[in-house]
A and B are shown apart, each in its own frame.
Chain A
Amino acid sequence: MPVFKSTGAEYAAVLDSVGKSFQGTAAIKSLSLKIPTAGVFALVGPDGAGKSTLLQMLCGLLTPDSGSLEVLGVSLPRGLAGVRPQLGYLSQHFSLYGDLSIDENMAFAAEIYGLKNYSDKRDELLEMTGLTPFRKRLADKLSGGMKQKLALACTLVHNPRLILLDEPTNGVDPVSRREFWKLLRGLGEQNITLVMSTPYMDEAERADSVAFIHEGKLLLTGSPGAIRRSWDRKILEIFCARNRAAMPVLSRFYPKGELQIFGDRVHLAMLQDGPEEDEVVRCLEDAGIRVKSSGPVRPRLENVFLSMIQKEAAVNG
């Protein structure tokens, strides 16, 4: 087994012009990306963006059609056998044996990685995930959140250095999701690299770095803070009586992607040479829509992302 230095390597994975198609349809289009070592890296994008394909390539389940891919300093697919024991992959679907108990699932997950003395690690993971009281319970009899935690525990039992999680919080209740994130954060601090895909922007906000993926292409990557700071636009938040009615009025100045409804408010990404705040408010009032309040707010990742998708669409015609 190749020996890896625990520190030194700056990137856990490096993708260079990677492409992948399925039956002629391109899922990933010449994508280049560097995933820094340690911490949580979030792949963000709508359904069908190519996040799962990317994760499956990183763990060797899929082979790129073009470009080069390096994981933990090893080129794939050539060095896959050597690097496989260092990887942990959690599929989007529940991929444990429902007819085996928590303990049995953990034992199987460890043993197929050739691990013999895993009981300490197993106990530690069960303690960490709060599953210890249910060890003898069959996986099928667990709640959705517990299943997901068990799946994570099984993914971690062989001490992987790079963990790939495909929408791990999908179908998990908010409380369990918070606990789940606490677990991920803790792992990120132990020099372990976690790459997770998520359709949720609030999750991306908590990651150390994010990459926006859209239609198989990388739109943007960086830390959430840096992305927000680098974005040169202001967000105007408007509370008005009738959000839906406001949309057609606002879309006269702004393309759809720059406008978002968040519950009782509308977010507007201001354009450099576009109308100012007072002008927008006046237009709404003229249309008979009463504006309760308005003002600039700190942009969220979601604002940036949606605006970028909008720009993409405009470029592509």
Chain B
Amino acid sequence: MKLELRAMIRKEFRQVFRDPHTLGILLLVPMLLLVLFGYAISMDVDNIVVGVLDNDKSPESRRITELFQVLDVFSPGESPTSPAEAEEALVDGRLNAALVIPSGFGRDLEAGKSPSLQLLIDGSNVLVASTAQGYIDAMFFDLSLRLDTEWRVPTAAGAATFTPPIDFRPRTWFNPELRSTVFLIPGLIAFIMVITAVLSTALSVVREKEKGTMEMLDASPLSSTTLIIGKTVPFMVISMLETVLILIAGRFLFGVGIMGSISLLLGITFLFLLSCLGIGLLISTVVDTQQSAFLLATIVIVLPTLILSGFIYPIRNMPLPVQAVTFLIPARYFITAERALMIRGAGAGSIWPQSVVLLGFSIFTLGLSSLRLGRRRRKR
């Protein structure tokens, strides 16, 4: 390696480890995000509090009440004694749902009539409401079928031999429990990489401008290429190490392993990081203060990555013009490839389109920023 380049890289590492701000961005932010997304921001709904207003108090109504105690997603709440009480509990948020069992429910059921049950759901939280409704729907569908057999066709075999006309057996692959962490960790890696790689590169170059050290570098025989490589290598190394750390944390803290090839995953991470470093450098050629670099990076890349990359919100649900914008976000391709590799265990064949696009992004951003940097240094 050239002496000049080695000097650049060594200096950069020294500064990273001495500057509390850079170190904070590189270490604290990823840890914070990992904990936030891994533990706090879970999209899995459980602990739906259901209260039962039992006006019947028959063995049948008790059987229904007990059903809510069996399933993990529900946690039994208070039992209201009047419709007014049930309403109040919903308004206050003490209950997510209230089931009203009318008096005479058990008697009507036994008589072969179809008695009604009322379910009141708090719809202010869509996620909770739809999950609650889905579970309770399925529960009563199943119960109705069972009761049908027990009372209408009382064979000797009883409920145990009940056979529905279609034996429907859904099985969810790759993420059988549908845990959201499995879905979030790949996107989280992309998001953290964008924050650390783009921001730290942009800030480190702009800091040189702010502190006037860039002038010294410009007056030296240091070439633009050496300058760019010297600025990217340290952050590439640090970001790659961080990726490995997140992967380890994902495996041991959240049980999200890597189904596919680790080297393929690291390979595509490298390509993604290259484009992030390119974007960081490009930002640094546009602005002259750390503050504006931070702002620009947040607007053009950090927020779009959070919202438009498919990290949390599905791209196919977005309006078409917004979907078109997502094509400009490198994380979109990276996250797609990551999910294929990590969760589905896909091979190289399924991620090559993403690899090509990311390589294109890297060449474009790095090329453009070295061009701009070179022009600035030559033409003044």
Name A residues whose Cβ lies closer than 8 Å to a Cβ of B. Answer: 59-63, 77, 81, 84-85, 87, 89, 91, 93-100, 104, 107-109, 111-116, 154
CB of A111 within 8 A of CB of B211, answer no
Q: Which 9 A-B pairs have the closest CB atoms?
A: A111-B7, A93-B212, A95-B212, A89-B219, A99-B18, A95-B216, A84-B221, A112-B220, A112-B222
- The secondary-structure label for the interface of chain B is helix
Q: Which residue of A lies closest to B227 (CB)?
A: A112
Interface contacts (Cβ under 8 Å), in number, total: 74
Bound-state CA distance A154–B219 (Å) is 13
CB of A91 within 8 A of CB of B216, answer yes
Asked if B15 CB lies within 8 Å of chain A CBs, one says yes
CB of A111 within 8 A of CB of B216, answer no
CB of B221 within 8 A of CB of A85, answer yes
CB of A98 within 8 A of CB of B221, answer no
Bound-state CA distance A99–B2 (Å) is 24
Tally chain B residues at the interface, Cβ within 8 Å: 25
Could you show 13 A-B contacts with beta carbons less than 8 Å apart?
A60-B219, A61-B218, A61-B219, A61-B380, A62-B380, A85-B221, A89-B215, A91-B215, A95-B213, A96-B216, A99-B15, A108-B7, A112-B221
CB of A97 within 8 A of CB of B19, answer no
CB of B211 within 8 A of CB of A98, answer yes
Contact of B14 among A63, A81, A104, A109 (CB under 8 A): A104
Chain B 1-34, CB-CB to A under 8 Å as 1, else 0, gives 0111011100100110011000000000000000
Which residues of B sit under 8 angstroms from A114, Cβ to Cβ?
2-4, 221
Name B residues whose Cβ lies closer than 8 Å to a Cβ of A. Answer: 2-4, 6-8, 11, 14-15, 18-19, 211-213, 215-222, 378-380
CB of B11 within 8 A of CB of A97, answer yes
CB of A95 within 8 A of CB of B215, answer yes
CB of A100 within 8 A of CB of B211, answer no
Which residues of B sit under 8 angstroms from A84, Cβ to Cβ?
219-221
CB of B221 within 8 A of CB of A81, answer yes
Which residues of B sit under 8 angstroms from A62, Cβ to Cβ?
380
Which residues of A sit under 8 angstroms from B15, Cβ to Cβ?
97, 99-100
Contact of A99 among B3, B7, B19, B218 (CB under 8 A): B19
Q: Which residue of B lies closest to A111 (CB)?
A: B7
Which residues of B sit under 8 angstroms from A94, Cβ to Cβ?
211-212
CB of A96 within 8 A of CB of B219, answer no
Q: Min CB distance, B82 to chain A, in Å?
A: 70
CB of A63 within 8 A of CB of B221, answer no
In the complex, given contacts A108-B7, A111-B7, A112-B221, what are 8 additional A-B residue pairs having Cβ atoms less than 8 angstroms apart? A61-B219, A89-B215, A89-B216, A89-B219, A91-B215, A91-B216, A97-B15, A114-B3
Bound-state CA distance A279–B97 (Å) is 108
Bound-state CA distance A87–B218 (Å) is 12
Q: Which residue of A lies closest to B223 (CB)?
A: A81
Which residues of A sit under 8 angstroms from B211, Cβ to Cβ?
94-95, 97-98
Q: Which residue of B lies closest to A63 (CB)?
A: B380
Q: Min CB distance, B155 to chain A, in Å?
A: 84
Q: Which residue of A lies closest to B8 (CB)?
A: A112
Bound-state CA distance A104–B18 (Å) is 13
Bound-state CA distance A60–B378 (Å) is 9
Which residues of B sit under 8 angstroms from A96, Cβ to Cβ?
213, 216
Contact of B11 among A77, A81, A91, A108 (CB under 8 A): A108
Q: Min CB distance, A250 to chain B, in Å?
A: 44
Q: Min CB distance, A220 to chain B, in Å?
A: 28
Contact of B212 among A77, A85, A91 (CB under 8 A): A91
Bound-state CA distance A214–B87 (Å) is 85
Q: Min CB distance, B376 to chain A, in Å?
A: 11
Which residues of A sit under 8 angstroms from B217, Cβ to Cβ?
112
CB of B221 within 8 A of CB of A99, answer no
Q: Which residue of B lies closest to A164 (CB)?
A: B219
Which residues of A sit under 8 angstroms from B6, Cβ to Cβ?
111
Bound-state CA distance A109–B211 (Å) is 16
